[in-house]
Chains A and B, each alone.
Chain A
């Protein structure tokens, strides 16, 4: 319950990656990410698409650009949501209960790997249940 309350209390300037904030199902990964530069920074379509593609390439998932949500694996869907959150360029990024999205992955390692590739300013925070702490410890130990 404390975790839920902490998530609910997050301010507006936090970019969240969460199960409750899904992708637009009928748009491709690229279009989902390109919406942000298109509507927030008023770039034209070509430039917004270019920025979205660059973000996916940076995360090492350029190949999923044309996939729609139902055709993605949990990891691909998570990466698209993460790219959408990163392109928001907010000072804090919160990954909210990653286990709910990455149910078939050893997610602490995947997130660590993505964070290393992302090379972004700002802080990344993971909100997860206490009983999952051991997973993060395992990921650190395995390095």
Chain B
């Protein structure tokens, strides 16, 4: 009986914990959203930090990311083409390539890339700021941490994932064309027709929304996880671990929901 009560209590505590974390995250998002709509937020200082953040998250890693997207795209396209040839489905190869790579795999891998590179850094930095009282110091100086530290990271994350996924998608489309038709222009018309058939308004809007949600997940979750950190230095790795696990689950959930909405 004691075991049962303890199990129920433990489960209840976990559920309450999840709700608390979820509430904190949505409350933070609502605050950030309201601040975004406030014209006074958009002063020169905030704009400068947003530009800097976009540079660090998207531009600084561009060459590494494009190399990585190139290799992944080339491999996946080669696998799809050889499989399509084996099963006599060459006619569907271009559509399959676009659907698998541009709509699903590249946005997902982009989100993982940004999460591992920037999300973990954001989580660690915010946790350290919290532990070292740097946020209190900013508040004492009446420098708003939301405008100076957090909002630029959220905007930078969303912009970076949308921008990088878009760029990787374009690269994959180009690679797909070269792999299927070579350097001849003969396949231009059927290939562009396939692209136009796939990318109707709903699919395109869905892709942009999905990438924006990925971007939000890889920045919002690390920021809120960092802010939850108790003021003890040894809790920083725990905070990063929790934050990154939540980011992973959020990315997978967004991908699964997006697939279900599209194909189920």
Type the 1/0 row for A1-38, where 1 means its CB is closer than 8 Å to any CB of B.
Answer: 00000000000000010001111111000000001101
Q: Which residues of A contact B (CB under 8 A)?
A: 16, 20-26, 35-36, 38-40, 42, 44-45, 84, 88
Whether A20 pairs with B128 at a CB distance below 8 angstroms is no
Whether B143 pairs with A39 at a CB distance below 8 angstroms is yes
Q: Does B60 contact A (CB under 8 A)?
A: no
**Which chain A residues lie closer than 8 Å to B138 at the CB level?**
24, 35
Which of B43, B140, B142, B144 touches A21 (beta carbons < 8 Å)?
B140
**Which chain B residues lie closer than 8 Å to A16 at the CB level?**
140
How many residue-residue contacts, CB under 8 A, span A and B?
Answer: 50
Q: Does B9 contact A (CB under 8 A)?
A: no
- Chain A at the B interface: mostly helix, strand, loop or mixed? loop
Whether A25 pairs with B134 at a CB distance below 8 angstroms is yes
Closest residue to B46 on the A side, CB-wise? A39
**Which chain A residues lie closer than 8 Å to B142 at the CB level?**
39-40, 88
Shortest beta-carbon distance from A20 to chain B in Å? 5
Q: Does B147 contact A (CB under 8 A)?
A: yes
Closest residue to A48 on the B side, CB-wise? B45
Whether A42 pairs with B132 at a CB distance below 8 angstroms is no
Whether A39 pairs with B45 at a CB distance below 8 angstroms is yes
Q: Complex: how many Å from CA A36 to CA B143?
A: 7
Q: Which of B132-174 contact A (CB under 8 A)?
A: 132-134, 136-138, 140-144, 147-148
